[in-house]
Amino acid sequence: MQNPGLSLDQVRERAARIRCVFLDIDGVMTDCKLYLGPDGMEIKAVNVKDGLGIKNLLRNGIEVAVISGRPSEAMQRRLEHLGLRHIRLATEDKLPAYREIIASLGLTDEQCAHMGDDTPDLPLMRRVGLALCVADGHPKAIAASHWVSRYRGGDGAIREAADLILEAQGIDA
């Protein structure tokens, strides 16, 4: 759903310009839960539907980039397997990484979307042309977004956002 104050047509207009989608991991690609093993190992679950949404974007020439505060070797492998070329894990301050990636791609803020769930995402959400938030996002992230998914983080929110962007660009994926 679009945020109050913005019509769905206005959201689609913004979505039609997007050439790169930035994603947060915890709370967006996952449900934000960490299962802590006795040996210190962290387990998190990803959603295959979201993986398909990411592949659909990449297949249609829309870049997907991930910037996350937490390091995770398993997540790095998953993202590489999906075909992502821009992966910045263990990156607390997201804005410098964002600037570097869009400069390397030759894109403007208006051509970028960011999907987040919490306050560390706010600097990016306030900057990009299309700010997306998951259904169970922090109230401040919801308030900063142009559009909120019906699905929760880790439960298909990325797939829903990918469909929105592709449909706005007339692509049936």
Residues in binding site for substrate: 26
Nearer to Mg ion, 118 or 136 (CB): 118
Shortest distance, CB of residue 80 to Mg ion, whole angstroms? 20
Phi/psi-derived region of residue 170, left when phi > 0, alpha when psi is between -120 and 50, beta in every other case: left
Q: How many other β-carbons are positioned within 10 Å of the β-carbon of residue 44?
A: 18
By CB under 5 A, name the one of 18, 19, 20, 24 that touches Mg ion: 24
The torsion angles phi and psi of 111, rounded to 5 degrees, stand at -90, 5
Is residue 154 close enough to count as binding Mg ion by CB under 5 A?
Answer: no
Is residue 137 close enough to count as binding Mg ion by CB under 5 A?
Answer: no
Pick the stretch among 22-30, 72-80, 86-94, 136-144 that binds Mg ion (CB under 5 A).
Answer: 22-30
Q: Yes or no: say if 165 and 62 are a contact pair by the CB < 8 Å rule.
A: yes
Is residue 50 close enough to count as binding Mg ion by CB under 5 A?
Answer: no
By CB under 5 A, name the one of 21, 26, 146, 160 that touches Mg ion: 26
* # residues contacting Mg ion (CB under 5 A): 5
Shortest distance, CB of residue 94 to Mg ion, whole angstroms? 10
By CB under 5 A, name the one of 31, 50, 63, 117 that touches Mg ion: 117
**Structure tokens belonging to residue 108:** 């403007």
By CB under 5 A, name the one of 11, 19, 21, 27 that touches Mg ion: 27
Taking CB atoms, the residue at the shortest distance from Mg ion is: 27
**Structure tokens belonging to residue 40:** 């210190």
The rounded distance, in Å, linking the Cα atoms of 144 and 31 is: 20
Nearest to 50 by CA among 58, 42, 40: 58
Nearer to Mg ion, 19 or 151 (CB): 151
Q: At what angle do helices 73-82 and 48-59 cross, to 10 degrees?
A: 50
The rounded distance, in Å, linking the Cα atoms of 79 and 8 is: 30
User: Applying CB under 5 A, which residues contact Mg ion?
Assistant: 24, 26-27, 117-118
